[in-house]
Amino acid sequence: MSRFHEPQDYYFKLLNTSLGVDRRLWRQDIAQSSAHVRMLADSGIIAADERDVLLEGLRRVRSEFEADCFLFGEDDEDIHMAIERRLTELVGAVGGKLHTARSRNDQVVTDLAMYARERAQAAQGAVRALMAALLARAEQHADWPMPGYTHLQRAQPVYLGHHLLAYFWMLARDRERFAFAEREAGRLPLGAGALAGVNFATDRHQVARGLGFAEVVPNSIDAVSGRDFVLDYLNAAATCATHLSRLGAELVLWSSEEFGFCELPDAWSSGSSIMPQKKNPDAAELLRAKAPRVVARLAALHGVMHALPLTYNKDLQEDKEHLFDAVDTIELALAAARGMIERVGFRRERLAAAASDELIAATDVADLLVRHGVAFRDAHGVVAGLVRTAVDSGRTLSQLTPQELAEHSRELAAHSEELHEVLAQRSWLESKVSEGGTALERVREQIAAAHAALADGDGAGGDGDAAG
């Protein structure tokens, strides 16, 4: 018996069904239903023999999914109804008792919370694996000089190890964001019913324990209408993807002939359909392109949630596609970034040659004047004039004559020996002694801190190889 007098329109059925998207939740739905059935029996809501029949039926349904032989029906609207329909086919009328004391509203959001929690944990493992790869390469290249850039112009020299560690610390924050997303998905919505609770004295905490939730959502309205935990995952993924896009962009630049700082392995490069000489950094370019895709998923779900009245609305069906695509994208991007970082070949000579440009020691020359009593703003102007003279005459700073130095600054002319010491390349790097700076001693301190950060995260997440 149906409340409606006519069947759904064909196009409404296409619009309304979510099976093509949410079928990946079958594991979560069967696990949740099994925990729910056990609770119903322990609470005296169904009989023990009914519990056993239902659990055996759910086991058989799970086996069909695992064997990839589950057959979906034409009227299966979503994965939840498909599983219940098949269960009833297998066990008979008792299958109808599975949905006692729950609604699809709290059922759907519980499956999604389980999925988001699992993928947030897996993301932490994948992030950690990339952090470990970056740390290993930073240790290998701790003392390799290279130019640091601002505005994509050579600015000040740094060590390659120092530069790579910048990405390590970005990812360390990403791992914390995914850990936060995992915690936020750790509250059980099930038991909220459609919106107001259910008419049975259920034990929500038993179900929470059985499914690994730390606690239950305390308000039934919030339980069915909230998707904050999805937004939290998407936020973590969007920021992480943005970090990976910056790494990809630098690999693209550095592997070009114009830079020549590195060479990507053949396994992470592509050829051209017409130019046989080409070796394209397509994988690194795709790291750039994937970021706005993930950010768009975050923005789209904010759009779905914006001004949405409580409690459940069908709009919330749009949560899953955004989450699933972001999961697939960020997990693939993290694996690709790890593969490239582990095998990229850096070119020491090209890095060192680019870092030997004396002009990037300009700030050090200004600081020399500061140490001799000149105000920094005045020193900045003096050195700017020196740079202009050197550039206009096609010379380096160390090739300027004592007379030219004196024309710009009596202090520099009086301390020309110190100036030439400052212009010795290694001093540019080793002068950056402040905490977090690029002096080798500081880089080694940072490496030790990075090892400690990795150790602190051991046991969280997986090994980075889990698939969504």
Catalytic residues: 151, 272
Neighbours of 297 (CB within 10 A): 25
Specify the DSSP class assigned to residue 70. Answer: P
Can you tell me whether residue 177 is helix, strand or coil? helix
The helix (run of H) or strand (run of E) holding residue 417 is: helix 416-422
Task: Quote the CA–CA distance of 324 and 97 in Å, as a whole number.
Answer: 30
Cβ atoms of 269 and 251 within 8 Å: the answer is no
CA angle, corner 33, sides to 28 and 34, nearest 5?
Answer: 100
Cβ atoms of 42 and 206 within 8 Å: the answer is yes
Beta strands 215-216 and 187-188 are parallel
Can you tell me whether residue 157 is helix, strand or coil? strand
Could you give the count of Cα atoms lying within 13 Å of 128 in the half-sphere of its Cβ? 25
For residue 457, which of 168, 233, 236 has the smallest C-alpha distance?
Answer: 168
Which residues, at least 6 apart from 377, have a Cβ–Cβ distance to it below 8 Å? none
Q: Exposed/middle/buried for 152, CB within 10 Å: 0-12, 13-18, 19+? A: exposed
* Beta-bridge mates of residue 270: 280
Cβ atoms of 79 and 110 within 8 Å: the answer is no
Alpha-carbon separation of residue 95 from 27, 59, 88, 213 (angstroms)? 18, 13, 4, 26
Which residues, at least 6 apart from 214, have a Cβ–Cβ distance to it below 8 Å? 183, 186, 187, 208
Specify the DSSP class assigned to residue 7. Answer: P
